Structure 1
Amino acid sequence: MAFGRLERSEGPRPISDINMTPLVDVMLVLVVILIITAPLMASSLRLDLPRAEGTQPSDAPKFVTIGIEAGGRTFFNDQPVTAEQLAQRLAEAARQAPDTEVQLRADKAVPYGLVVQVMGAAQKAGLNRVGFVAEPGS
């Protein structure tokens, strides 16, 4: 070794492997986004029921119609009924054909709680297919 002369060591070698950590991080973020947004895209709930574009009468072979006026009067197939009569008629319809569809026609001014009560009576009777009837949009 000479005086005043420093030895040079070989520098760090370049890494030739691919760093997988950023790729895994990005993929995990995409999976989380997919998990969060998938239920939102599958929701088919329409909140603007009184007027909707493209509503057509259903071709269901068996259905019953329940109407609710703004004052709260309930009708089963266009005949006024009480809550007890409605439950009896829904149970009878379910016994005759369990796949019967309930077409619910409610005025805009009807409180949501009353609509939920009617839907609950239908489900309690065994009728799980409930459709909301709306007028075509203008």
Structure 2
Amino acid sequence: MGMGVASGGGGGGRRKRRKSRAVMSEINITPMVDVMLVLLIIFMVAAPMMTAGVPVDLPKSAAADMPSQTQPITVGVTPDGQIFVDEDQVTEAALVETVTARATNGTEDRIYLRGDTTANYGTVMRVMGMLSAAGFTKIGLVTEREQ
């Protein structure tokens, strides 16, 4: 009553031995370079969008005057907080409506913001914020050159 147990993977035939390959010790850097290039492109596109603050088109002191087809709209803030659009005094509530009515190209018109040296900084920034919230993006702060 002896019973024999076969070892192996069935079939009882000869086992084939594969040659074991040597471990490859070189690193393939092509996928890493591909990933780095993709990340570089993503950061190059995203970096300009990460700047915070109010977009302001500041005038350059050494640049020549740019030819303009239309006359820019001038908004002025006096030391006592009065707001003027060109030569007409307006209230804060009517500022956006007045500037929009004078804009010939909609929100693409250039606006020059003139704030007096002694004017309240908060008032000047509030006026700029109201214009920016209304969709005007070409807002320039007017200054005089230092002697």
Report if the CA contact (8 A) 1:55-1:134 is conserved. no
- Give me the TM-score of the superposition, normalised by structure 2: 0.53
SS in 2 for 1:135: coil
Task: Report the equivalent of 2:43.
Answer: none
Cα deviation code 1:40-94 (max 9, x no counterpart): xxx9xxxxx9xx8447655333320001111111100121111122121123245
Rg larger in structure: 2
Task: Report the equivalent of 1:61.
Answer: 69
Cα distance in 2 for partners of 1:97, 1:79 equals 20
Instruction: Quickly say closer, same or farther: Cα 1:104–1:114, change in 2 above 3 A.
Output: same
Unaligned runs of 5+ in 1: 1-42, 44-48
Aligned residue identity for 1:65? T
RMSD: 4.2
- Give me the TM-score of the superposition, normalised by structure 1: 0.56
More strand as a share of residues: 1
Cα distance in 2 for partners of 1:104, 1:97 equals 18
SS in 2 for 1:121: helix
* Deviation >6 Å, runs of 4+: none
Cα deviation code 1:106-133 (max 9, x no counterpart): 1111222111111122122221110011
Residue 117 (structure 2) pairs with residue 108 (structure 1): yes
| Count of aligned pairs | 123
Instruction: Report which structure shows greater RCO (CA 8 Å, sep ≥6).
Output: 1
Residue 84 (structure 2) pairs with residue 75 (structure 1): yes
Report the identity percentage: 26
Report if the CA contact (8 A) 1:91-1:126 is conserved. no
Between 1:54-63 and 1:82-91, the stretch displaced more is 54-63
Instruction: Quickly say closer, same or farther: Cα 1:107–1:93, change in 2 above 3 A.
Output: same
